[in-house]
C-alpha cells in the first residue's frame, strides 16, 4: 500500500470518526446552507488537470452540468462514483450534459486519478474549500458527497445530498430526462 493511500485512508477514517462521534457542530456536519433551487447556481473558477488549466461554471452555458463534489481521489466510494459517471458519459454527452467533479485534492492528484481510472471529464481542485463552502458541501477539511444539476442557462435545478455512489449516476440521468422532457 502506497504512502498516499495510507494518508487518504487515515484522513477518511478520522473524518468518519468525528462525524460518527458527533464532534462536529450540526452546521458543519450538514455542509452548510445549500444554494437555492431555481436560481442561478453560484459562479466559480477553479484549476483543473484538463484543457487550459482552469474551468469556470460559465464556460458551460448552453449545456446542462452535473457538478459533483466528493471527499478525495483514490478512496473507494469516490472511485466508484467517478467510474459510474465515466461509464455513463456517452449518455450524458447525448443529453448535452457536462460532468464536473470537485474535491480538495490538487491538480496533480486529479491527473493521477483520471489516468488511473480512465476519466474523460474534468476534475477541479478546490484546495481551500471555497467553492465547496459556496455550495454548502464542506465538512471542515474536505468536500461532502453532494451533486448539483444545473441547466443550460446556469439555473440550479436539482440538489442531491446523501449520495449513494453505486446508483447515483443512474438517478441523475433519470432526473435529467425528466427535466429535459
> b/e map of 125-152 (b: 16 or more CB within 10 Å)?
bbeebebbbbbbbbbeebbbbbbbbbbe
> Do 55 and 100 contact (CB within 8 A), yes or no?
yes
**Partners of 69 in the β-ladder:** 102, 146
C-alpha cell at 28: 458543519
Q: Which of 63, 70, 82, 69 is nearest to 150 (CA)?
A: 63
Active-site positions read: 78
User: Cell 453505486 identifies what position?
Assistant: 166
The residues, ordered by sequence, that sit 6+ positions from 153 with a Cβ below 8 Å of its Cβ are 61
Residues shown for the chain:
181
C-alpha cell at 113: 486519478
Report the C-alpha gap between 81 and 76 in whole angstroms: 9
Amino acid at each position: 500500500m502506497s504512502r498516499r493511500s495510507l494518508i487518504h485512508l487515515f484522513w477518511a477514517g478520522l473524518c468518519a470518526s468525528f462525524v460518527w462521534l458527533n464532534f462536529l457542530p450540526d452546521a458543519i456536519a450538514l455542509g452548510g446552507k445549500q444554494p437555492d433551487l431555481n436560481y442561478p447556481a453560484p459562479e466559480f473558477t477553479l484549476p483543473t488537470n484538463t484543457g487550459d488549466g482552469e474551468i469556470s461554471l460559465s464556460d458551460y452555458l448552453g449545456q446542462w452540468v452535473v457538478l459533483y463534489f466528493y471527499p478525495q481521489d483514490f478512496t473507494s466510494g469516490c472511485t466508484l462514483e467517478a467510474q459510474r459517471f465515466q461509464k455513463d458519459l456517452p449518455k450524458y454527452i447525448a443529453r448535452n450534459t457536462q460532468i464536473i467533479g470537485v474535491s480538495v485534492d490538487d491538480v496533480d492528484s486529479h491527473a493521477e486519478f483520471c489516468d488511473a481510472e480512465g476519466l474523460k471529464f474534468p476534475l477541479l481542485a478546490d484546495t481551500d474549500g471555497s467553492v465547496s463552502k459556496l455550495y454548502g458541501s464542506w465538512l471542515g477539511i474536505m468536500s461532502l458527497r453532494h451533486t448539483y444539476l444545473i441547466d443550460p442557462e446556469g439555473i440550479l435545478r436539482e440538489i442531491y445530498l446523501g449520495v449513494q455512489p453505486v446508483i447515483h449516476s443512474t438517478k441523475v440521468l433519470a432526473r435529467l430526462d425528466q427535466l429535459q422532457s
